[in-house]
Structure 1
């Protein structure tokens, strides 16, 4: 009987150990599942933040593209204005006549030759000289670059940071010799 009772005890001990093992496995699996669920939620939140940031960046990219197109349009308009001003300067130089090729290059325009002195003569009394747009006292003899406005006198050239007509920041100025 003792043998029977030992075998019953051993059987009871095995069952108890098996139940404890099952409980331990369940607790371990529950803890791992809880950790995995927490990590999964963190990753989902991270994906949501990354998606929001991506959408913000896409919107910013489209905004910057629109701004770039606007600036390119402005640049083309400025180039057209510069070409127009250069053509006007060329016409003024051609009307003035008697300007050497070297002086014409200083003005930024090629000079086509004048056939006779009489056709190149311009009466200085009839020619209206532009006044300085800064001080309005002296004669404007300097062309501002890059905008190419004939707008200031040598006195104002020393202090001018921008063209008084269009307020473009100046890079330099060139003296225009008008007959």
Structure 2
């Protein structure tokens, strides 16, 4: 059993657990990640992990949300208007496409990914919709985005962008990363223009 002093190191315990989960995904692949190994790498006991998440799948979902949120925060949202909004969405899509953890879950844990692709919105998707809806509302006031309910428009932007991210590998011989970004920007601009 891990001592309590090990559980009180510099980084918050939840962050250490998520970092350990990311390391496990990279080392073993999504399907072979275990709660015991996550706890070992985080330097905490299994009960410490269980107090925060009931199972490995929940940890992986929290890890994805943390990574998506970080990418979204890094993309910023200082400028107003359709051009800035589309650039931000395309930048977030590119970063997520380049994220080894996100892509590993998407391609190697299809049953987990399919829940968030076809059955229900996950926390990270809700965060993306909320952030995009806020930017759409400002762009509508700016006059550069068409009228319509901002959340509905944001949800459609999510569907368009999510499809581009999840299918990028399939169309890579036709649309490399740069070309995909250009075409995604065209699609979003066309959809949002007044």
Q: Which of the pair is proportionally richer in helix? A: 2
- TM-score over 0.5 (shorter chain): no
Q: Which of the pair is proportionally richer in strand? A: 1
- Give TM class, smaller chain: under 0.3
**TM-score, reference length from structure 2:** 0.21
Q: Which structure carries more relative contact order (alpha carbon 8 Å, separation 6+)?
A: 2
